[in-house]
Amino acid sequence: MFSFNDFPSSFKDFPSTSTLFSWYASTTASVMMIRTMFNDLLPEVVRTYLCSFFLNIFKRGSNELTLVIEESTSFSQNQIYEASDAYLSTKITSKTKRVKICKTPYQKNITVRLEKNEEIVDTFEGVELTWRHVCFDPAHRLNNPARLMQYPVRPEKKAFELTFHQKNKDMVFNSYMPFVLQKANAISEEERSLSMYTLSKMEVDKSIKWASINLEHPATFDTIAMEPKLKRNLIEDLNRFLRRKDFYKRVGRAWKRGYLLYGPPGTGKSSLVAAMANYLKFDVYDLQLASIMHDSDLRKLLLQTGNRSILVIEDIDCSADLTDRRNGSTLPEASCPDDEEDDDQPDSVGGKRSMLTLSGLLNFIDGLWSSCGDERIIVFTTNHKERLDPALLRPGRMDMHIHMSYCTPSGFRLLASNYLGISGEHNLFGEIDGLLRINQVTPAQVAEVLMKSEDADVALRGFVKKLKRKDFNEDVEGDIGEASEVETIETQMQHTENSCQKARRKKKGKGKKKIQAAS
C-alpha cells in the first residue's frame, strides 16, 4: 500500500503552499521595485546602454547578424522598409498566424501585409533568412503616463528585423536586398493606383500642402479624338522619353519632358493629360498657381512632388498676371527672359514687387527642381498660345507643342465609335464630314450631342441638324486654327524669337505708357 513515506526525501521537504505564496509575493514586489527604480531613476541613455550591454553579453558567441530596417528616417519614409513590407506579403504561408488586410474603395485587390510580431523564414541561394516585424513605442508612453502627456499623438515605431549568419553578410547586401527591392517594385507597380494631387490649405497652420485622391479618369489614348499622326507622335515621344534614362544622363540633362497643350476650350487638353497619366502610370500634380502667394511656397511644393509624375499647370496664360497680383492689377504682365535678373530681388510682404513670377517658376522648374527627381513630365495648357510669356516658349522649356484642334472627320469617327458603337461607315458620315469642314465644332460639343440618344441614327440626325443650323459656332470662343500640328524643339526656335521680339516691343510700349501716366 502506498504511504507518504514512499515519497523521495526531496518531495517530503517540498515547501508548503503558504510558503510558496509568500515567496512569490516578495519576489514579485522586489522585481517591481527594481523595475520602477530602473525606469524612474536611471536616465533613458543609461537604460539603453545597460540594455544593449546585457544583450551583447548574451549574443556574444552567436554568429548571427541582425539588420534593423525602421519604417522611417527623421526626414522621410525608409524605402527599404516599404520594399520589405511589400516583398514579405508574397512570403506569407499557412504558418503565419496574423496578417493585416486592407482594401480602399479604389483598389482592385485586397492587400495583405505581415502583422507585428510575426516571423517569416525566407530562403535565398540556399541561405536561411529570418524576418520579424517588430513594433515599439518610441517614448515608452504606455509605461509612463508623464510621457503620454508629453507625446500624446506620437505613433508607435515599426521595423523589420532581418537575421542571418554573419558569413552571408555580403550576399545579403549585394544580392538579397537588391532582389527584395526589385520584387517590391514589381509588386507596387501592380498594386499601384494613380493619384491626383491638388493644393489644399491646412486648418492648423494655414500652410498649403498637396492632398491626394485616386485618379480614376477614364480617358485613354483610345478615347481621345485627335489627329492620328499627332497621337502616334505623342505616344512615340513618351515611349522614347521613358526608355532614355541613360541618354539624359549622358548628355547632362535632367530626365524631364515638357509639353504645351494649346487649343480652344473643349478640345481635350485636360483629357489628354489624364490619358498620358493612365498610359505612363504617372501621378498627376495639379498646380493651381492662383493658390500660391510666395516663391518659397512654390519651391516647397515642387520639392514635395514625387518621381514618375506629371506636373500640370492649366491655363498658364491666365497665371501670367501673377507678377502684378499683389498690386491689385489684373493686367497680364509678360516677363521676358531679359527680366530674369529681377527674380533675385527679395520677396517682401507689402512691397511693390510680386512674390511669384512666371519666370521665377520657369527658372525653378529648369533648375533645382528638375535636377532632384527622375521621370518628370511638365504640362502647361492654354487656350491662347499667342498670349504666352516668351520665356515659356523658349527652346528647351516645352519640348513638344501640341495643338488640340476642332473636331476633324477622323476625330468624329472615333467619337461616334466610342459613344454610339458605330464601328464602320454610316450613311450620314459623308454629309457630316462636309459640314465639319465649314463648322468649328469642338470634340466636347460633339460628345454632348452624341450622348443625347442611344440610337445612332437619331443621334447623328440631331447632330446634322445642329450643324446645318450653325448652332455650334455661337459657342466657339477664339480661333486658333484648324489643323492639328505638332512642333518639336527645333521648329520652336523661330516662333520663340518672334514672340520675344513682340513681347519686348509690347513691354517697351507699356513702359512708355506707364511713364506718361505717372507724369
CB of 488 to ligand ATP, least distance (A): 21
Site string for ligand ATP, 365-384 (x = CB under 6 A): ------------------x-
- Give the whole-angstrom CA distance, residue 167 versus residue 172: 10
Helix (H/G/I), strand (E/B), else coil: 403: strand
What Cα–Cα distance (Å) separates residue 203 from each residue in 15, 153, 206, 297? 67, 18, 6, 16
Helix (H/G/I), strand (E/B), else coil: 280: helix
Determine, following the binding rule CB under 6 A, whether residue 476 of this chain makes contact with ligand ATP: no
Measured from the CB atom, is 86 or 402 closer to ligand ATP? 402
Determine, following the binding rule CB under 6 A, whether residue 269 of this chain makes contact with ligand ATP: yes
323 binds, among Mg ion, ligand ATP, none (CB under 5 to 8 A by kind): none
Determine, following the binding rule CB under 6 A, whether residue 390 of this chain makes contact with ligand ATP: no
265 binds, among ligand ATP, Mg ion, none (CB under 5 to 8 A by kind): ligand ATP
Determine, following the binding rule CB under 6 A, whether residue 226 of this chain makes contact with ligand ATP: yes
Determine, following the binding rule CB under 6 A, whether residue 268 of this chain makes contact with ligand ATP: yes
Site string for Mg ion, 256-275 (x = CB under 5 A): -------------xx-----
Helix (H/G/I), strand (E/B), else coil: 340: helix
Count of CB atoms within 10 A of residue 454's CB?
10
Determine, following the binding rule CB under 6 A, whether residue 271 of this chain makes contact with ligand ATP: yes
Determine, following the binding rule CB under 5 A, whether residue 439 of this chain makes contact with Mg ion: no
- Give the whole-angstrom CA distance, residue 448 versus residue 41: 75
- Give the whole-angstrom CA distance, residue 316 versus residue 392: 9
Measured from the CB atom, is 270 or 445 closer to Mg ion? 270
Count of CB atoms within 10 A of residue 187's CB?
17
- Chain positions 66 to 125 lying near ligand ATP, rule: CB under 6 A, are none
User: Taking every pair of C-alpha atoms in the chain, what is the biggest distance, in angstroms?
Assistant: 130
Angle at 83 between CA 81 and CA 87, to 5 degrees: 120
Q: Contacting ligand ATP (CB under 6 A), which of 84, 89, 168, 270?
A: 270
- Give the whole-angstrom CA distance, residue 70 versus residue 424: 59
Determine, following the binding rule CB under 6 A, whether residue 486 of this chain makes contact with ligand ATP: no
Helix (H/G/I), strand (E/B), else coil: 100: strand
224 binds, among ligand ATP, Mg ion, none (CB under 5 to 8 A by kind): ligand ATP
CB of 432 to ligand ATP, least distance (A): 16
Can you read off the three cell numbers belonging to residue 401? 507643342
Q: Which of 234, 230, 225 is nearest to 267 (CA)?
A: 225
- Chain positions 438 to 457 lying near ligand ATP, rule: CB under 6 A, are 443-444, 447
Measured from the CB atom, is 270 or 440 closer to Mg ion? 270
Q: Output helix, strand, coil percentages for the chain, rounded to the nearest 5.
A: 50, 15, 35
Measured from the CB atom, is 226 or 260 closer to ligand ATP? 226
The site for Mg ion (CB under 5 A) is made up of: 269-270
The site for ligand ATP (CB under 6 A) is made up of: 223-226, 265-271, 383, 404, 443-444, 447
